[in-house]
Amino acid sequence: MELSCKSEYAMLALLALANHYTQGEPRQIRQIATEQQIPDRYLEQLLATLRRGGLVRSERGAKGGYLLAREPWKVTLLEIVECIEGLKTRSSATKSSPKTIESAIVREIWQEVRQTTHSVLQKYTLQDLKEQRDAKQQLNIMYYI
Amino acid sequence: MELSCKSEYAMLALLALANHYTQGEPRQIRQIATEQQIPDRYLEQLLATLRRGGLVRSERGAKGGYLLAREPWKVTLLEIVECIEGLKTRSSATKSSPKTIESAIVREIWQEVRQTTHSVLQKYTLQDLKEQRDAKQQLNIMYYI
DNA sequence: TTATACCCCGGTTCTCCACTGGGGTTTGTT
DNA sequence: AACAAACCCCAGTGGAGAACCGGGGTATAA
């Protein structure tokens, strides 16, 4: 369960798609990449992963691009991170079950940590991020005046 | 902020030290390593890190070994993880401040996740682990009867 | 003096991240 | 039909870190 650059990029891309969700028109990799300052060839791979994970769908050919596969409020951040990080299980988590009592105890703590991270990520959807974005946008305009 | 194998080993080692804390005699790497099933040369490195981090102190020479630097209830799991993982900041966290509004939003979420992980790890001390261990120990004995 | 411990440094293999690049395929437009 | 715009797949690269192994040095008790 990482919070790597990959996940951040994925979030940004999906948020970009969520912002244009009502239009119903696909957005291109290049667009998103320049808008969100992400290396485009890298973003391409991430979007492919998200597509295989069923979070976005793509349209090929000219005027093609990517669209959210679901409504923004039906996509939790947990789904995104799990899709992109691919259920990493570092720390020899599942493999090699704990032999000593002590290691069982430690694993329980690890489990608790993982659980709380999950619940944080699960309580937010793309819609929430979009709303936060809009709020912040408004704030910036206010300051500008 | 990782939950790698390293951290698990460190926890186990410190827990092993905590269990013998009242004796006041140092425990050797080899002892701990065989008891907790950790490769000893690797454990050596981790204990060195913990020593530099002020969590354990060492006595050299024959009859030497390692001791907890503080009482078990004064060592939080967060300290251990931070000492061993060395304040990792993956995801380009601190470096390269967010340029877009969207990335600022995502960073806030990241921050929240990190915060909750911290608070979970901070609420436990080595003493707590020791007590959990003892409780589980008792349970196993009960089952055996 | 010797055996026992820690101490320090270095190297290895592996995996993953964050990219970059080449070439192929689908599709709308002219 | 030709073309360009997009996605698609696959491959490679450089660096970092994890999880080790090993050698040789140094302090200390017996």
| Distance from CA(A29) to C1'(D3), angstroms, rounded | 21
pLDDT on residue A97: 74
Q: Residue B116 and residue B109: Cα distance in Å, rounded?
A: 11
Q: Residue B125 and residue B11: Cα distance in Å, rounded?
A: 11
CB contacts of A132 in chain B (<8 Å) are 105, 108
pLDDT digits (tens, 9 = 90+) for A90-113: 555 555 677 899 999 999 999 999
Residues A2-16 have a mean pLDDT of 95
> Has residue A67 got a pLDDT over 90?
yes
CB contacts of A77 in chain B (<8 Å) are 109
Residue with the larger pLDDT of the pair A139 and A77: A77
CB within 8 Å: B4 and A120 = no
Q: Residue B119 and residue A91: Cα distance in Å, rounded?
A: 20
Residues B77-105 have a mean pLDDT of 81
Sorted by where each begins, the domain ranges of chain B are 5-144
pLDDT digits (tens, 9 = 90+) for A28-46: 999 999 999 999 999 999 9
Measured between CA atoms, the residue of chain B closest to residue A4 is: B91
Contact with chain B for residue A34, Cβ under 8 A = no
CB within 8 Å: B121 and A110 = no
Q: Residue B126 and residue B76: Cα distance in Å, rounded?
A: 6
Q: A5-144 domain in CATH 3.90.1300.10?
A: no
Q: Residue A49 and residue A55: Cα distance in Å, rounded?
A: 9
